[in-house]
Amino acid sequence: MRPIRASHCAVCNSCFLRRDHHCPWLGTCIALSNYKYFVLFLTHTFLLGVYDAILCIIHLARCWRDQTWGKSWYSWTALVVSTIGAGFVGNLLYLHVWLMRQNVTTKEVIDERYEKLSTPNPFAK
Average of pLDDT values for 25-46? 91
Average of pLDDT values for 48-61? 94
Give the mean pLDDT of the chain: 85
H-state helical runs in the chain: 35-66, 73-102, 106-110
Which residues touch 11 (CB under 8 Å, ≥6 apart)? 22, 29
pLDDT value, residue 122: 62
The rounded distance, in Å, linking the Cα atoms of 107 and 30 is 11
Higher-pLDDT residue of 73, 41? 41
The rounded distance, in Å, linking the Cα atoms of 101 and 80 is 31
- The residues annotated as belonging to the active site are 23
58 pLDDT higher than 70: yes
55 pLDDT higher than 90: yes
pLDDT value, residue 111: 76
pLDDT value, residue 85: 95
pLDDT value, residue 97: 94
Cα distance between the two ends of the chain: 25
